Amino acid sequence: MGIKSLVKQVLTEKENKKYEKRLADCKVSYEDWLKEQEQCWRREKPDKQGDFVLVTASMGEPADYAAKNIKSYFDKNPDTLVVYGDEDVRQADGKAGSPWFKPDWSPDFLESCLYFGSLLAVRRTHWEKVRTLYERVWPKQWKRLFGEEAGQEVYKVKDLEAYEKWLFCLTEDACRKGSRMVGHIPQILFHAASVEEQARFLTESCGLRGRRQQRMKDFLNHYLGSESACSPLVSVIIPSKDHPDILKQCIEGVRIAGADIPCEILLVDNGSNPENKLKIEELVQTEMRLAMNGKEVPIRYFYEPMEFNFSRMCNLGAEKAKGKLLLFLNDDVELCEPGCIAEMAARAVRDYTGAVGMKLLYPDSGRIQHVGITNLPMGPVHKLQFQADDRDYYGKANHSCRNFLAVTAACLMVEAVKFQEAGGFSEELRVAFNDVEFCFRLYEQGYFNVCLNDLYAYHHESLSRGADESEEKLERLLDERDRLYRKHPWLEGKDPYYSVHLNREGLDTRIRPAYETAGNHVQKADVPLKQVKTGDCRQDDCLMFRVEDGRERKIVGYGVVLGDNNACYERMVLLRSTGNAEENTEEKKEYTDETTAVYGVPLTEQYRPDLEENLPDQVNVALCGFTIELQKGVVPEGSYRVGMMVRNRVNGGKLMNWSNRVVQL
């Protein structure tokens, strides 16, 4: 080995050791996080003595502050009658682990599994009322439920089947619009004896399956018995332009999925070219002839040339629809499961249900495209997107029916009367976030939106879509996101169905506890930045640089050097002036490093476990994240393109790359 190679090896090993130490310092154990949180949770003091009953449904014990904090919650929320909390497992060595952070009240999730879990608190007045009802309906099951030794303040569940029936008696009125009957305390209130004890609550029981089957039976008996065979119950609205081939596949999927329910199909075309328009008209005639040999599915084609506006196309379809239910469907969505339209409809007709969505998968990959939309500080995101659907993720998030703030309009069903009540899709949002904004309005009106993740359809959208968005598309996306939150400012960064103790920063699509990255801190840039020279840097895409958020003077993202040891690199975020905001709105200008000022922010590394998991073939990438907050005055006011420069501490080599993100400072 030559002297240069030997020196390089020694220096690289030194950098690796430093990296391992920095990585260890960034990681936070659940035990340490819990101890810190418990100091806060123990500070709560109830205003008065609460009158409630505690119910434990698994082996283990309540946290020592649980009863006190439940009393405090009941004091502050006089309309709440039932309260549940989060929980973890007390391991054999005495340490805590396996935390289960739960959503707020989610009636559809409760129909999938008993997610209330190990500890429940019930106001005594409600306890007595439900006990009377339960004993009248199931007179012999009270002792099965709690046993002979039932106490006055703490009851231990003896039989989960009886407990399940009791829970639905307990929450029967909790789905009414505006109800605050069920509350959730986002604190660890119970330490279960084992992971197996927890897992019982995430299993769909025979009783829950029976409830679902009975709901479908009641729905079909009621609606199919009362509707005329020629009258559509579901209007399937498909916006489409210049896609006759994939449209044919979509229509065939509707025929399979809606074989047991009266449907009509409305095609809304905003201006296919003459050749494709003719193909679509021929397709409609062919499909209508096929329908005459089996179940009739009327197809109506509305051709109205106009600038693309997804909201307007959906609203036009809704105006023409005859069905009680509206199913909005992208033309590149292929419904795969017979009966799934009826399954969606059986949920959508309930008084308390708003929008109903379904799991969408990328075809030929088994990867997830959509299992509900989560509202994070950076905006609405598809949690679990691109993850394989061959396993369960956090709390069976991808395999159970769950309530969400929003579902995608690529496949969204809603009652026509509720669609009208909410005002339809906002035509101000032409391309993005129109479905989210519509679902936000349903939520604000007291409805529960739900995604049926025990069903699936294929979304023939490219897996790589969005990886190379143009600056123009990005600007439009950011503008429509801002419009979304101007309409619903109180929901910005908030999601009742996604715990505050789960990861909320960046674009990590997995669902993981936030304590894993609790060692990260926002890097403050509060002194004037120095200009840097970039002439000796090689611009190269092997520096994979992404800006995930750039609002309100905060820049979040990561930079990974592909094919090299990232432990050896120091990183700097670059801000290249593109002029002031007024200049940029008048015309697009080309700016280069030679003609404009470039400022640099040396980075403090942040731990990103998602990079480790998403880039398993890359070396030492876990500390490649960053979050910086730029105070006013650190650079002259104006707009700046964001880039990154890296320097290898071993060989001195420099690389840089620029993102498509421009920020206003």
Would you list the DSSP string of 539-559? E-TTEEEEEEE--TTEEEEEE
Look at residue 109 in the predicted model and tell me its pLDDT.
Answer: 96
Backbone angles phi, psi at 33, to 5 degrees: -60, -45
Asked if 157 and 167 count as a contact pair (C-beta separation under 8 A), the reply is no
492 located within any domain: no
Average pLDDT over residues 619-643: 95
Residue 656 domain boundaries: 519-664
Look at residue 473 in the predicted model and tell me its pLDDT.
Answer: 83
Rounded to whole angstroms, how far apart are CA atoms 572 and 192?
Answer: 46
Based on the fold, state whether residues 236 and 186 are members of the same structural domain: no
Name the band, by pLDDT with cuts 50, 70 and 90, for residue 482: very high
Name the band, by pLDDT with cuts 50, 70 and 90, for residue 113: very high
Average pLDDT over residues 29-54: 87
Domain count, the chain: 3
89 located within any domain: yes
Based on the fold, state whether residues 318 and 414 are members of the same structural domain: yes
Higher pLDDT, 121 or 204: 121
CA dihedral 216, 220, 221, 224 (to 10 degrees): 170
Does residue 97 register a pLDDT over 80?
yes
Of 203, 238, 257, the residue that ends a domain is 203
- Find the CATH number of the domain harbouring 577: 2.60.40
Residue range 613-624, pLDDT digits in tens: 999 999 999 999
Based on the fold, state whether residues 154 and 246 are members of the same structural domain: no
Higher pLDDT, 143 or 498: 498
Look at residue 585 in the predicted model and tell me its pLDDT.
Answer: 41
Based on the fold, state whether residues 360 and 461 are members of the same structural domain: yes
**Please, which residues have CB within 8 angstroms of residue 262's CB and are 6 or more apart in sequence?**
224, 227, 229, 230, 231, 232, 233, 234, 323
Based on the fold, state whether residues 115 and 198 are members of the same structural domain: yes
Low-confidence winner among 220-229, 263-272, 603-612, 650-659 (lowest mean pLDDT): 220-229
Does residue 289 register a pLDDT over 90?
no
Residue range 533-566, pLDDT digits in tens: 998 999 999 999 999 999 889 999 999 999 999 9
547: β partners: 557
Look at residue 205 in the predicted model and tell me its pLDDT.
Answer: 86
Based on the fold, state whether residues 529 and 460 are members of the same structural domain: no
61 located within any domain: yes
Task: Please give the C-alpha separations between residue 426 and each of 58, 315, 419, in angstroms, as whole numbers.
Answer: 47, 9, 12
Average pLDDT over residues 116-138: 90
Low-confidence winner among 179-188, 288-297, 370-379, 423-432 (lowest mean pLDDT): 288-297
Look at residue 587 in the predicted model and tell me its pLDDT.
Answer: 43
**Please, which residues have CB within 8 angstroms of residue 540's CB and are 6 or more apart in sequence?**
655, 656, 657
Q: What percent of the chain has pLDDT over 90?
A: 72
Residue range 377-413, pLDDT digits in tens: 989 999 999 999 999 999 999 999 999 999 999 999 9
491 located within any domain: no
Based on the fold, state whether residues 129 and 163 are members of the same structural domain: yes
Based on the fold, state whether residues 535 and 651 are members of the same structural domain: yes
Look at residue 137 in the predicted model and tell me its pLDDT.
Answer: 79
Of 203, 234, 262, the residue that ends a domain is 203
Q: What percent of the chain has pLDDT over 70?
A: 93
Does residue 586 register a pLDDT over 60?
no
Based on the fold, state whether residues 257 and 370 are members of the same structural domain: yes
Look at residue 545 in the predicted model and tell me its pLDDT.
Answer: 96
Higher pLDDT, 212 or 560: 560
20 located within any domain: no
Look at residue 588 in the predicted model and tell me its pLDDT.
Answer: 46
- Find the CATH number of the domain harbouring 462: 3.90.550.10
Look at residue 151 in the predicted model and tell me its pLDDT.
Answer: 60
Asked if 327 and 344 count as a contact pair (C-beta separation under 8 A), the reply is yes
Residue range 223-260, pLDDT digits in tens: 876 555 456 899 999 999 999 999 999 999 998 898 88
304 located within any domain: yes
Q: Helix crossing, 434-444 with 471-487: angle to 10°? A: 10
Average pLDDT over residues 353-374: 95
Look at residue 583 in the predicted model and tell me its pLDDT.
Answer: 43
Does residue 372 register a pLDDT over 90?
yes
56 located within any domain: yes
Does residue 415 register a pLDDT over 50?
yes
Does residue 294 register a pLDDT over 70?
no
Classified as helix, coil or strand, 393 is: coil
Rounded to whole angstroms, how far apart are CA atoms 352 and 177?
Answer: 6
Average pLDDT over residues 643-662: 95
Give the DSSP H/E element, type plus range, for residue 206: helix 206-219
Does residue 584 register a pLDDT over 60?
no
Based on the fold, state whether residues 273 and 307 are members of the same structural domain: yes
Based on the fold, state whether residues 300 and 180 are members of the same structural domain: no
Rounded to whole angstroms, how far apart are CA atoms 242 and 660?
Answer: 29
Rounded to whole angstroms, how far apart are CA atoms 569 and 335?
Answer: 48
494 located within any domain: no
Look at residue 462 in the predicted model and tell me its pLDDT.
Answer: 61
Residue range 132-187, pLDDT digits in tens: 888 887 777 777 888 765 566 788 998 888 899 899 999 999 988 888 999 999 99
Average pLDDT over residues 494-509: 92
Look at residue 467 in the predicted model and tell me its pLDDT.
Answer: 47
Based on the fold, state whether residues 57 and 132 are members of the same structural domain: yes
Q: What average pLDDT does the chain have? A: 90
